[in-house]
Amino acid sequence: MKEGRLAFYLGAGRFPPSEVVPVKGPELLESGLSEPTYAPVAAERVVGEGKARIRPPERYYDDVWFYKGNRWKVDGFAKEELSLHLLREIQEIAFDGGAGKWREYAFPCNKTGFVSLHVSAKGKAAVYLLFDELHPILPWRMCAVNALKYTLAPGEYELLSFEPYTMMYVKVVVFGDAEAEAPVLLSYENPDVKEFPILPDKEAERIFQAAKETFAQNAVDVLTDCPSRERSGWLCDSYFTAQAEHALTGKNCVERNLLRAYLLAPEPVSCQPFGMLPQCYPSDHSDGSYIANWALWLVLELKDHLARSKDEELVRLFRGKVMRLFAFLRRFENEDGLLEDVGGWVFVEWSRANDFTEGVNYPSNMLYSAALRAAGELYGEKKLLEKGEKVAKRVREQSFNGTFFADNAVRREGVPERTENTSETCQYYAFFFGIADQKSHPALFERMFEGSRALLREKYPSLWPSNAFIGNVLRLFVLAREGRREQLLREIKECYLYMAQRTGTLWENNEPTASCCHGFASVAAVWLKEIFLDKCGEVR
């Protein structure tokens, strides 16, 4: 009998034994990961209750990404192919009186797990679970369907969801002759987070706990972007979450599992050009899109992973993929050696910085320079080191306008011309990737890091502000690198305290407009640990 995680997935101890017919299939590799935590989490309080009825709305919300159709190329089903159109069905439930009943519950914080519910049905009944990370509950908030439906005959039921879901609030709606008890969440989390002493600063401790929650929910099998909307092993996100894994667990087993998946990915991944790495393998998009930036972040992550784990063999095995990536990108280099119009989705961050990607995108070239230099160091390739320095030099010459680094250049009469587009995030890219530093650009450093960001926005309204992913994080990295601990702690609180207070987890954006448990944000634990704890894990 197989033991551990695989046995759980195969139903060991949960289903009666049956005849097994051997079938040749892919080789299953041992993950080397700890069994996830499956701990019951009870609802903390009742938020509200009342009556419900069916009342079709005047207009249905139908803008979700997972329908197969003309707008999105996905491998799901078209709306007309669905036997149960749950998104439409839940919009027909009105909570203003009627024969049905509902009760809404809150968990202690935003949590991820399998929803368990006991139902006693004396007659036929329909039970809906509507859930969200925020209140009031909006099941389709992230272009998803955060809802479950059970159609029951008379009887006693112990229901358990087939998949893990993320929620802080859940509304149980019952139509028919049935009673439902308070739901319980069976957690699905990484168990390897160490015990740490309580930090002496209460606000910092609250953020630290939220960072640990965020990490644990995003590190079960691979490092995921979020446990709710996608559960995907996205690159770039993993660069930051991996640092949290090392800080919180003392190892990088989950990161290695993620990197191994990318190493084993076929070349090319279906629909993508040869040489380009996938963006969230093995659940990559099937529309041929790619994010060159994410592939470059992988090169940087390999360098950091080697420093953390000393796993030279894994890095060596990636050499071919890394070199083929750079070979692919060479076709987009212009006469100055800078990447121009690289195709796919040029992703800088979730802000206006993502709108300034036409032509030569300077933040992307800052990243390109860093990736070239990282690969040169990893593989002893002097030419890559020199090329990375050349790209950095060209960016300094072309992007800086005397006040800020501009985000892009577009061709005018055949020549790249710097635009007036300037984002806060572009400046943080420059300092994070060594294009600029306090010595080479003292006025810019003072402009960006002395005083509050509110004053920065007031004084330079044309400088488009950063978002949580990833401009704010890059800024905090620069502050940590410069040893500005007091300012770093103050700004960590500005970035994360309100998130920790509202959901007990850390978010994808500055505002709660997307995922409210995003793995990359757990990197806050790295800085708080460095500020308050010594190498032995004791309070300084």
Reported as a single tens digit per residue, the pLDDT across 479-489 is: 999 999 999 99
Say if residue 159 is in the same domain as residue 293.
no
Over residues 84-92, mean pLDDT: 96
d(CA 294, CA 315): 17
d(CA 438, CA 483): 13
Residue 28: inside a domain: no
pLDDT at 343 over 90: yes
pLDDT in tens, 42-84: 999 999 999 999 999 999 998 787 777 766 677 778 888 999 9
Domain of residue 129, residue span: 40-187
Residue 172: inside a domain: yes
pLDDT of residue 13: 60
Contact 182, 43 (CB under 8 A): yes
Contact 128, 93 (CB under 8 A): yes
DSSP string, 107-122: EEEEEEEEEEEEEEEE
Say if residue 79 is in the same domain as residue 133.
yes
pLDDT at 472 over 60: yes
Helix (H, G, I), strand (E, B) or coil at 410: strand
Over residues 96-105, mean pLDDT: 97
> Which stretch of 9-13, 175-179, 360-364 has the lowest confidence by average pLDDT?
9-13
Say if residue 87 is in the same domain as residue 155.
yes
pLDDT band at 285 (very low <50, low <70, confident <90, very high): confident
Token pair 């770039």: residue: 236
The counts of H helices and E strands in the chain are 16, 13
Sort strands 184-187 and 40-42 into parallel, antiparallel or unpaired.
antiparallel
Q: Among 458, 476, 492, which residue terminates a domain?
A: 492
Say if residue 172 is in the same domain as residue 234.
no
Provide the 8-state DSSP code for 469.
Answer: I
What are the backbone angles phi and psi of residue 100, rounded to the nearest 5°? -80, 170
pLDDT in tens, 180-191: 999 999 999 999
As for how many domains the chain has, the answer is: 2
d(CA 279, CA 269): 10
pLDDT at 372 over 50: yes
pLDDT of residue 6: 59
Count of residues in the chain: 540
DSSP string, 481-530: HTT-HHHHHHHHHHHHHHHHHHHSS--SSSSSSS-SS-GGGGGHHHHHHH
pLDDT in tens, 391-411: 999 999 999 999 999 999 999
Token pair 């890394």: residue: 322
What are the backbone angles phi and psi of residue 38, rounded to the nearest 5°? -115, 80
Cα 115 → chain centroid = 22
Say if residue 144 is in the same domain as residue 206.
no
Residue 509: inside a domain: no
Contact 297, 367 (CB under 8 A): yes
pLDDT at 415 over 70: yes
Say if residue 268 is in the same domain as residue 145.
no
> Which stretch of 46-50, 236-240, 265-269 has the lowest confidence by average pLDDT?
265-269
Sort strands 93-94 and 155-160 into parallel, antiparallel or unpaired.
unpaired
For the chain, the first-to-last Cα distance in angstroms comes to 48
Residue 222: inside a domain: no
pLDDT of residue 79: 85
HEC-encoded secondary structure of 219-248: CCCCCCCCCCCCCCCCCCHHHHHHHHHHHH
CATH assignment of the domain containing 407: 1.50.10.10
Over residues 82-100, mean pLDDT: 96
> Is the overall model pTM greater than 0.85, yes or no?
yes
Provide the 8-state DSSP code for 33.
Answer: P
Say if residue 207 is in the same domain as residue 125.
no
Say if residue 163 is in the same domain as residue 282.
no
pLDDT in tens, 421-456: 999 999 999 999 999 999 999 999 999 999 889 899
CATH assignment of the domain containing 93: 2.60.120
Token pair 């609030």: residue: 169
Say if residue 151 is in the same domain as residue 234.
no
Residue 162: inside a domain: yes
- Other CB atoms within 10 A of residue 481 CB: 12
pLDDT in tens, 193-233: 999 999 999 999 999 999 999 999 999 999 999 999 989 99
pLDDT of residue 1: 39
Over residues 89-117, mean pLDDT: 98
- Other CB atoms within 10 A of residue 538 CB: 10
What are the backbone angles phi and psi of residue 153, rounded to the nearest 5°? -90, 170
Q: What is the average pLDDT score of the chain?
A: 95
Cα 413 → chain centroid = 41
Task: Tell me the percentage of the chain whose pLDDT exceeds 70.
Answer: 96
Helix (H, G, I), strand (E, B) or coil at 417: strand
Say if residue 308 is in the same domain as residue 448.
yes
Say if residue 155 is in the same domain as residue 285.
no
Residue 31: inside a domain: no
pLDDT at 365 over 70: yes
DSSP string, 342-384: --S-----SSGGGG--SSEEHHHHHHHHHHHHHHHHHHT-HHH
Residue 488: inside a domain: yes
Cα 408 → chain centroid = 26
d(CA 272, CA 10): 33
Residue 19: inside a domain: no
Say if residue 307 is in the same domain as residue 418.
yes
d(CA 48, CA 154): 27
HSE at residue 67, side-chain half, CA atoms within 13 A, is: 17
